[in-house]
Structure 1
Amino acid sequence: MNRAARATIDTSALRANLNAAKEASGGARIMAVIKANAYGHGIVPAARALSGADAFAVARMEEAAAIREAGMEQVVILLEGVFHAEQIPQAASLDAELVVHSHEQLEMLEQYSGSHRFRVWLKIDTGMNRLGFPPEDAVELERRLAACAGVAGRPRLMTHLASADLQTDPFTTDQIRRFREATAELKGERSIANSAGVLAWPDSHSDWVRPGIMLYGVSPFEGRSGEGLGLRPVMTLASELIAVKTVPAGGRVGYGGVWTASRDTRIGVAAIGYGDGYTRHLGSGTPVLVRGKTATLAGRISMDLITLNLEEIPDARVGDEVILWGTGLPVENLARKAGTIPYELLCGVTQRVAMRLV
C-alpha cells in the first residue's frame, strides 16, 4: 500500500550521531535513550542502528519487550522502573535493569523472593522534583538496595538534569554538586548527563551518559539546530502534491478562510495533516520544500490535507514531493513556529505515516 505521507529514517545518521555522542562524552559508556518509539523514529529499527551503544534506556515495559521480541540482547534499563509488584517477574523475563526512584519500588524489591537478580539504579532527585529520592537519603537507601537478595552487585546511581539546555543557568552546576556530595561515600557507577549534558556540561559525563534527542540529529538547545552542532537529521517527513489549482484574487483558502489570495495564486494541496502528526499549531507562512524551493502554508492545517502557496514555484506539479521537515528544513525551526519543542513534533508522528528506512 502506497501512502503519500511518509517518514524516511536515515539509519546511517543514527550511527553517526551515536559516534558524535561517544566523541563528546570523553570515554563514558553510552545508554542510548530509545523510549517513546525512539522519539517517533521506530524503536526496533532505531535500536538495531544504535547497536553500538552500551545499553538502551526505555520508559515502559512494553518498550523493553519490543527490543527482546526483535531478538536483541543488549542491556535494557527501565527508566521508570516497575509500577506494580506483578511486573517484577516480567522485568526478570526480559532481563531488564531497574531504576528505583520511590519507597514503594524499594519495598517491592525487598519483598521479592524470585530467583532472578537485577542490576538496579538508585535515582537521586537533585532538583528536578519529579522522580527520585532526596540526596540526604542516598547512603541509607543504597545500602538497603544492596542488601536485597534480588539485587546483583552494588546499585548504580543516577540523577536527571532539569536545565542543562540552558547553558548559562548555574542550576546544572548545583545539581552536579548535590549529586556528587550525596554519593561521595558510595562506590556504584554513576550517570548524570542527558543530551544537553553530553554537549555542554563535561562535568556531568561520569561513568555513563544518556543521550536521547541528539541521537536523532536534533539540538537540545533552543535557537540552535542539530546540524549546527555537527549532528545529522535522522527523520525526513514528507508527502506529495495531490492537486494544484489557481485561486483568484480575493479567494479564501481552507477552514475559516484565514488566508486570502491577494492576487491570482497557484495553490497546492498536499496529503498530510494533523491526523498524521503535522500539528495544527503551524500557521500560514510556515515553510515547506517543493522541488528544493520554499513554499509556505496558506490557511489552516486540516486532518488530512495542507494547502500551500506555490507562487514562487511555478513549475510545481501534482506528484511533487513536499518536505515538511528534515535535511534543509530543521525540525527545530518548525517547533519554534508551532510554539513547542522538536521532541513533541517527532513523537507526534502517527501510525498512518509510512516509515521507510535508508
Structure 2
Amino acid sequence: MNDDAPSLKQLNRTFIGSVLFIDIVGYSTRTVPDQLEMKELFNALLAEAVQNVAPGDRIMVDTGDGAGIAFLGDPEDALFAALSLRDAIEAGRVTLGEPGFVRMGINLGPLKIVRDINGHTNMIGDGVNDAQRVMSFSEPGQVMVSHSYFDIISRFSRDYAKLFVYEGTRQDKHVREHEVYRFGPPKEDQTLADKLRDRSRARHVVDSAPAEATPAVQAAAPARSGALRPGLIATAIGAATLVGAVWSWTSKPEASPPAAAVAPAPPAPETVAPKTAAKAEASRPADVKLAARQPEGAAEKASATVSASASTDAADKAAKPAEPPAKPGTVRLAVQPWGEVYVDGAKRGVSPPMKSLSLAPGKHRIEIRNGEFAPYKETLDIKSGTETTVQYVF
C-alpha cells in the first residue's frame, strides 16, 4: 500500500478527522502464503474504494493485518469508503479468510500525523484509538460507528439517521464504554443508501471547463457576436446611400434643366438694388449654391441619408456589449472542530466539510455557531475577485 507523505504543515498538528479502521478477519491464523494473497487482494480493493477521495484529504497507514485511514475533509468520505469496500467484497464473493473478509469501525475525533521510526506516516490520538475499539465490536462484514461520528453525520441529512441501528453501550478491554451504531439499513431503505453513495461519487467530479471562461462570459459571447452583425449591416447601407447621394449631386451637372426652362426667380424687393443682389449671390457658400441647383428629388435623397445615418448610430449603440458582472469574492473557512455557517442570517452549511464560500462584492455578516458555545460574528467587506480567510476554534 502506498504511503502518502503529508506536507510539513500537516505534521505535528491536531486534526479533527474521521478515522476508518479496517481489520482482515482471520488474518493471523492463516499461513504466510495465504496472508500474502489476502493482503494483496485487500490492498487492491481498498485502493479502489478510496479512489474518489483526493490524496491530500486522506492519510493511509498500513497496520499489518488491515489499515487505518484518516479523512481530513468531508466526514461522509469515511462512510462511503467503507461501503464501497464492503460492496466490492460482496460482489467479488471473496472466499479467502473468514466470511465477510473484513470488519470496520469509524470514529470522529482528534488525531496527530507523525513520522514513525522508519520515517513512514503514522497517526496517534484518541480519534485513532477509539476507531480501533469500535472496529473490535463489529462482526465480519459489518460497519460500526461511534456515537461522535453518528452525531455529526446525522446532522448532514435526516436520511443518514435511517441508515444506522443503535447497538447500545459496549465495553473495551480498558473498561471504557462506547456507544456504537451499526450500519444496516432495512431493505426498503436500500435505495436510499444507493442514492447517498451516488451523491458521494458525484461530489468528487471536477468541472473541466476553463477557469477564465465563466458561464456568464460564455453566455454573453454568442449574444454579443449576434448583436454586432446588424450594426455592421446598417453601417454599410448608410455608407452606400451617402456615396450615391454625393455622386448624384456632383457627377451630372449637364443633366440639370437648361437655364431657359428654369422658372424665373421672383422679382427682388424694390429696396434691393440689382448690383447688391449680385454681390449677395456671389457671397453665398458653395454648398448653398449647389443645393439651389439640385434637381427635383435631391431633398428626399438627403433626408433618406440622414435617416440611414441615424439608424446606424442607434444600431452602433445597441451593439455595444454590456459591462460584465463583478466577479464574486471567496471566503476560506478554517473552523475547528466544526460550526454552522450563516451569511446575512441565512444558513449556508456546516464547516467542515464546507471549506469555502462564494459571495458577491459588498459587506456581509458572517456568523458561526457550535451548539451552546458563544457564536463567532464578523462583518466582512468582500472585494471582487479577492480571497478572505475566516479562522476560529470553539
Question: TM-score interval w.r.t. the shorter chain?
Answer: under 0.3
TM-score (norm 2): 0.19
- Which structure has the highest strand share of the two? 2
> Scaled by the length of structure 1, what TM-score is found?
0.20
Q: Which has the higher helix share?
A: 2
